[in-house]
């Protein structure tokens, strides 16, 4: 979602129908009572906060935080807000873009047609009265025209369409407050007051005039006024109920889509902004519980992936990134960390960082290609930057607007005006005949009238042609031009034709054609134009007070297949780095971070020369995992948080996956207990109807799932190897796939790994093939993994009650799990230290698996 910059100069201000950050803030604050009511009425909140006093206390805390964290609440629902913006843009395109000068003129002309129609009705009545009286002269015609003009002028002024034009032009400062029907009555009174004096009509004729005008006003003017209802409504509201009435079936469908999108946005504000963000943070700040069971009153929310900003938690890496963005006016920053640690989520969140709480940043987020294609990537980055600039300035995506044909605007008033003229002509035929004869006898009136029509038509056409481009800033026009050149190949054709047609049958013709196809720009040209474009954007944003930065995020660079290709790719695109007020944030691999850290001891690499700094994104701590789950209204006792943290090794993605499995296992256990009509009562338990599922039971199920998944993966890997010891290794790994899990069996397997040396013939004792080395490495890794799993079983599945307290080493097991894939010896050492501290049996790390 892109917010417009409210501190920009007048030339940068968007049309008033586009939402802005301050307008959205006011709207959300205006409905905060409704948001709070819906948030605290949900069953998940009632489960987490069952006591009325506790729920009231939390509600008061949350209500005080809403004005202070309003930007966070809006950002939490940014995905749903983007859908609402898209639906709103579609509704505007189907209904016609409002509040532009051309649209104002069209609406004003339609309203003018309504009032002129009423005036024509008065003219018809006057002509009829004059015909009855016998005084059918031009005076009555002139009075009728004068009355029509008075009605039209006075009716136009109070309308929003008319005052919009007059205020924009400086003729009015504030719109008049008179009613629409009052000026019509005033104009009619003026017409009726002047008519008798000139046409000598009697009271009978005057009654006929009044009756005709009233009938015309009620039957013609009112329906046509409803047809232009959009004049008195606005697109600036976020509520579709306040928008203009749809003009077509397509517009009605677009409006219904917007209504659904608005409902989803309000729901997202409640679920993500209030419940998960504010209530979740309030719950996470409370003292954790250390009980070793879950009860049937435990809330079981639906856990999804980390896709919304509200689901993110503040970490050391995010704080370092915020400091870097706030203290530098230009930087290229690398984000390094293992897969699943949250680099992509941090990239998406970077656009919300504001220097000193200033204006919203202009963000451009792209993904690096999986293969080495720097030119195609730069074209995509250039295009996304153009789209962001256009969206930021206009509030809509740069798609061609569905303009309504001009005849659809002109047809309704045109038909009414034509019908009125026919009626007038039929009733007062001598008058237009005499007028036409007098005009024909004086041709200069034809010339003057034609000239005035040409001038007025030219002015209207000029406004219509300038409606889409005239009010846009220069940077938006430049972005549209760049986007057109990036997406399409331009072809210009110039032709000269000469045709000679003498009399009779002889004919000669000559045609000469030149075709110019615009050549594709080279990569250096793209780099140069992109830098100039970003520098132009930066200059315009710096011209405004507290202008936000330009954030360009490049994700998934660590997913390029070859490290050499990734380094070459970065070496090519770093030419666009180093622009004032522009920050480039790139997600890179852990190897790149290691190369950056070794820059003092080795030659400079592409990673070293491209980045000003590299921020390591570490794994989550147990406290951060607790806040991550609380943001989903999942408040677990501390032993369960430590279990999820240890199994996931601090990776947010795996934490959510394991917590989801935990809730599924817990729900299945509750169903089983309910069917068996059993309860497990602790000495200090509550009512006998309370069902409890112990930590040991749930931990055993989670550990078993993890053990089986990893064992199956190792078996699949070993089965592809062709070495003499692979059969022994497969048998040993298969023995670990036990049900239920048992720490003693796993420790015995750790102490007796297969010896791959004994399976190789003596004649080949000096030959070590690649498959044998791979098999030995996989056995050593799996041996360390089994040692880790046995420790989890001893800690979380022990029969005796294990005491969890504030002194429990919450990070040790997670760190040991994180080193299993890269350094199993270090992982073994960390597990030994943990087991020694807690008095558990140790197993020697000496391994006979070395080939």
* pLDDT over 50 at 506, yes or no: no
Residues 280 and 329 in one domain: no
Q: Mean per-residue pLDDT for 294-321?
A: 67
- pLDDT in the model for residue 697: 92
Q: Is residue 326 part of a domain?
A: yes
SS3 for 739?
Answer: coil
Residues 642 and 778 in one domain: yes
Confidence of residue 207 (pLDDT cuts 50, 70, 90): low
Please name the residue that has the structure tokens 């474009």. 533
Based on the number of CB atoms within 10 Å of its own CB, is 703 exposed (0-12), middle (13-18) or buried (19 or more)?
buried
Residues 691 and 631 in one domain: yes
Residues 85 and 108 in one domain: no
- pLDDT in the model for residue 417: 56
Q: Is residue 689 part of a domain?
A: yes
The CA distance from 3 to 101, in Å, is 24
Q: 212: which residues sit within 8 A by CB, 6+ positions away?
A: 121, 122, 124, 125, 128
* pLDDT over 70 at 126, yes or no: no
Q: Mean per-residue pLDDT for 197-213?
A: 49
Q: Is residue 762 part of a domain?
A: yes
Confidence of residue 123 (pLDDT cuts 50, 70, 90): low
- pLDDT in the model for residue 418: 57
Q: Which residue has the higher pLDDT, 91 or 445?
A: 91
The overall average pLDDT reported for the chain is 71
Residues 756 and 670 in one domain: yes
**Which range, 282-296, 461-475, 669-683, 725-739, has the best average confidence (pLDDT)?**
725-739
Q: Mean per-residue pLDDT for 707-711?
A: 94
Instruction: Give the H or E element holding residue 789.
Output: helix 770-796
Residues 181 and 278 in one domain: no
Last residue of a domain, one of 619, 638, 655: 619
Cα of 450 vs its chain's centroid, Å = 53
Q: Mean per-residue pLDDT for 115-124?
A: 52
* pLDDT over 80 at 483, yes or no: yes
Last residue of a domain, one of 594, 619, 644: 619
- pLDDT in the model for residue 182: 47
- Which one, of 467, 328, 475, lies nearest residue 392 by Cα? 475
Nearest-10 Cα torsion for 794, 797, 799, 801 = 90
Q: 478: which residues sit within 8 A by CB, 6+ positions away?
A: 533, 536
Residues 599 and 733 in one domain: no
The domain tally of the chain equals 4
Confidence of residue 171 (pLDDT cuts 50, 70, 90): very low
DSSP 10-74: GGGPPPTTS--HHHHHHHHHHTHHHHHHHHHTSHHHHHH--SHHHHHHHHHHHHHHHHHTHHHHH
**Containing domain of residue 742, as a range?**
624-837
Confidence of residue 212 (pLDDT cuts 50, 70, 90): low
* pLDDT over 80 at 125, yes or no: no
Q: Is residue 564 part of a domain?
A: yes
- pLDDT in the model for residue 598: 58
Confidence of residue 305 (pLDDT cuts 50, 70, 90): low
Q: Which range has the worst mean pLDDT, 173-182, 231-240, 369-378?
A: 173-182
Residues 628 and 606 in one domain: no
Confidence of residue 469 (pLDDT cuts 50, 70, 90): very low
Confidence of residue 512 (pLDDT cuts 50, 70, 90): low
- pLDDT in the model for residue 234: 58
- pLDDT in the model for residue 487: 74
* pLDDT over 80 at 360, yes or no: no
Q: Enumerate helices (H) and strands (E) in the chain, giving the number of each.
A: 34, 9
* pLDDT over 70 at 420, yes or no: no
pLDDT digits (tens, 9 = 90+) for 723-745: 777 888 899 999 988 878 899 99
Residues 14 and 39 in one domain: yes
Confidence of residue 265 (pLDDT cuts 50, 70, 90): very high
Residues 765 and 803 in one domain: yes
- pLDDT in the model for residue 817: 95
Confidence of residue 491 (pLDDT cuts 50, 70, 90): very low
pLDDT digits (tens, 9 = 90+) for 513-572: 555 555 677 888 899 999 999 988 888 877 765 467 889 999 888 777 677 788 888 888
pLDDT digits (tens, 9 = 90+) for 35-79: 999 988 877 787 778 788 888 888 999 999 999 888 888 888 887
Q: Mean per-residue pLDDT for 807-813?
A: 82
The CA distance from 516 to 360, in Å, is 43
- pLDDT in the model for residue 341: 86
Q: Is residue 465 part of a domain?
A: no
SS3 for 390?
Answer: helix
Confidence of residue 835 (pLDDT cuts 50, 70, 90): very high
User: pLDDT over 70 for what percent of the chain?
Assistant: 57
* pLDDT over 70 at 616, yes or no: yes
Q: Domain holding 584: CATH number?
A: 3.40.50.300
Q: Mean per-residue pLDDT for 772-780?
A: 88
Q: Mean per-residue pLDDT for 361-389?
A: 85
Q: Is residue 483 part of a domain?
A: no
Q: Is residue 460 part of a domain?
A: no
Contact 77, 269 (CB under 8 A): yes
Q: Mean per-residue pLDDT for 301-324?
A: 70
Task: Tell me the CB-side half-sphere exposure of residue 301, using CA atoms within 13 A.
Answer: 24
Q: Which range has the worst mean pLDDT, 205-209, 261-265, 499-503?
A: 499-503
Last residue of a domain, one of 596, 619, 642: 619
* pLDDT over 60 at 223, yes or no: no
Confidence of residue 641 (pLDDT cuts 50, 70, 90): very high
Residues 659 and 766 in one domain: yes
Q: Which range has the worst mean pLDDT, 133-142, 331-340, 476-485?
A: 133-142
Q: 666: which residues sit within 8 A by CB, 6+ positions away?
A: 294, 298, 300, 693, 698
Q: Mean per-residue pLDDT for 463-480?
A: 64
Q: Could you tell me the two tokens for 228? A: 């232009």
Confidence of residue 822 (pLDDT cuts 50, 70, 90): confident
- pLDDT in the model for residue 678: 47
Residues 113 and 214 in one domain: yes
Q: Is residue 294 part of a domain?
A: no
Please state whether the peptide bond connecting residue 807 to the residue before it is cis, i.e. omega within 30 degrees of 0. Answer: no
* pLDDT over 90 at 672, yes or no: no
Q: Mean per-residue pLDDT for 490-516?
A: 48
* pLDDT over 50 at 499, yes or no: no
**Which range, 382-391, 610-619, 638-647, has the best average confidence (pLDDT)?**
638-647
Q: Which residue has the higher pLDDT, 691 or 644?
A: 644
- pLDDT in the model for residue 759: 47
Q: Three-state SS string across 669-708, please?
A: HHHHHHHHCCCCCCCCCCCCCCCEEEHHHHHHHHHHHHHH
Identify the sign of the CA torsion 551, 557, 559, 560.
positive
């Amino acid at each position: 979602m892109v917010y417009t910059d409210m501190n920009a100069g007048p030339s940068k201000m968007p049309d008033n129908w586009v939402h802005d950050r301050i307008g959205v803030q006011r709207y959300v604050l205006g409905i905060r009572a409704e948001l709070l009511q819906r948030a605290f009425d949900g069953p998940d909140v009632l489960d987490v906060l069952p006591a009325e006093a506790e729920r009231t206390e939390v509600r008061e805390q949350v209500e005080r935080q809403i004005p202070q964290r309003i930007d966070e609440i809006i950002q939490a629902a940014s995905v749903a807000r983007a859908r609402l913006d898209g639906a709103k843009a579609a509704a505007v395109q189907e209904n016609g873009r409002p509040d532009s000068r051309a649209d104002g003129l069209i609406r004003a002309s339609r309203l003018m047609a309504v009032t002129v129609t009423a005036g024509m009705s008065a003219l018809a009545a006057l002509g009829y009265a004059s015909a009855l009286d016998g005084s059918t002269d031009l005076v009555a015609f002139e009075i009728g025209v004068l009355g029509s003009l008075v009605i039209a002028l006075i009716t136009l002024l109070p309308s929003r369409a008319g005052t919009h034009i007059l205020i924009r032009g400086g003729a009015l400062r504030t719109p008049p407050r008179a009613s629409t029907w009052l000026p019509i009555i005033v104009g009619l009174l003026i017409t009726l007051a002047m008519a008798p004096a000139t046409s000598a009509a009697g009271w009978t004729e005057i009654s006929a005039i009044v009756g005709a005008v009233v009938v015309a006003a009620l039957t013609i003017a009112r329906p046509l006024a409803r047809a232009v209802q959009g004049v008195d409504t606005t697109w600036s509201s976020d509520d579709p109920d306040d928008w203009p009435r749809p003009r077509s079936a397509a517009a009605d469908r677009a409006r219904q889509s917007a209504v659904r999108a608005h409902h989803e946005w309000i729901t997202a504000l409640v679920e993500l902004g209030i419940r998960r963000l504010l209530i979740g943070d309030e719950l996470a700040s409370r003292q954790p519980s250390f009980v070793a069971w879950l009860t049937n009153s435990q809330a079981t929310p639906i856990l999804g992936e980390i896709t919304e900003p509200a689901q993110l938690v503040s970490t050391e890496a995010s704080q370092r990134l915020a400091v870097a963005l706030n203290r530098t006016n230009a930087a290229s920053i690398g984000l390094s960390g293992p897969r699943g640690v949250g680099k992509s989520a941090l990239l998406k969140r970077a656009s919300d960082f504001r220097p000193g709480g200033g204006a919203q940043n202009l963000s451009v987020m792209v993904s690096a290609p999986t293969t080495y294609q720097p030119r195609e990537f730069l074209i995509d980055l250039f295009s996304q930057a153009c789209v962001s600039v256009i969206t930021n300035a206009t509030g809509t995506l740069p798609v061609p607007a569905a303009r309504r044909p001009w005849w659809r605007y002109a047809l309704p008033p045109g038909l009414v005006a034509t019908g009125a003229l026919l009626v007038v002509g039929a009733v007062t035929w001598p008058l237009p005949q005499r007028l036409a004869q007098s005009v024909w006898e004086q041709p200069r009136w034809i010339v003057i009238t034609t000239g005035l029509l040409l001038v007025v038509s030219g002015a209207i056409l000029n406004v219509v042609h300038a409606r889409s481009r005239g009010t846009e800033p220069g940077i938006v026009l430049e972005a549209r031009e760049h986007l057109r050149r990036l997406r399409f190949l331009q072809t210009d054709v110039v032709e000269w034709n000469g045709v000679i047609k003498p009399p009779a049958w002889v004919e000669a013709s000559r045609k000469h054609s030149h075709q110019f196809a615009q050549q594709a720009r080279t990569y250096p040209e793209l780099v140069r134009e992109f830098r100039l474009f970003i520098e132009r954007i930066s200059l315009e944003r710096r011209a405004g007070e507290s202008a936000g930065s330009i954030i360009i995020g490049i994700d998934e660079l660590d997913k390029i297949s070859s490290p050499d290709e990734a380094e070459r790719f970065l070496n090519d695109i770093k030419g666009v780095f180093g622009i004032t007020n522009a920050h480039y944030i790139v997600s890179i691999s852990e190897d790149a971070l290691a190369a950056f850290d070794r820059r003092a001891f080795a030659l400079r690499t592409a990673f070293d020369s491209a980045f000003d700094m590299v921020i390591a994104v570490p794994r989550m701590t147990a406290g951060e995992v607790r806040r991550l789950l609380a943001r989903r209204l999942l408040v677990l006792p501390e032993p369960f948080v430590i279990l999820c943290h240890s199994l996931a090794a601090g990776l947010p993605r795996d934490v959510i996956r394991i917590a989801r499995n935990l809730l599924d296992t817990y729900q299945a256990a509750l169903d089983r207990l309910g069917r068996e009509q059993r309860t497990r009562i602790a000495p200090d338990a509550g009512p006998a109807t309370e069902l409890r599922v112990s930590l040991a039971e749930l931990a055993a199920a989670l550990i078993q799932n993890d053990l089986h998944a990893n064992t199956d993966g190792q078996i699949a890997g070993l089965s592809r190897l062709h070495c003499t010891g692979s059969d022994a290794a497969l048998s040993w790994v298969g023995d670990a796939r036990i049900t239920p899990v048992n720490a003693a069996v796993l420790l015995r397997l750790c102490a007796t790994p297969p010896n791959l040396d004994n399976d190789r013939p003596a004649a080949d004792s000096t030959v070590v093939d690649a498959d044998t080395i791979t098999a030995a490495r996989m056995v050593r890794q799996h041996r360390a993994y089994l040692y880790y799993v046995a420790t989890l079983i001893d800690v979380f599945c022990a029969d005796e009650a294990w005491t969890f307290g504030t002194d429990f080493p919450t990070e040790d097991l997670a760190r040991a799990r994180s080193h299993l894939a890269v350094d199993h010896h270090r992982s073994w050492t960390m597990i030994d230290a943990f087991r020694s501290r807690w008095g558990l049996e140790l197993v020697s790390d000496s391994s006979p698996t070395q080939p």
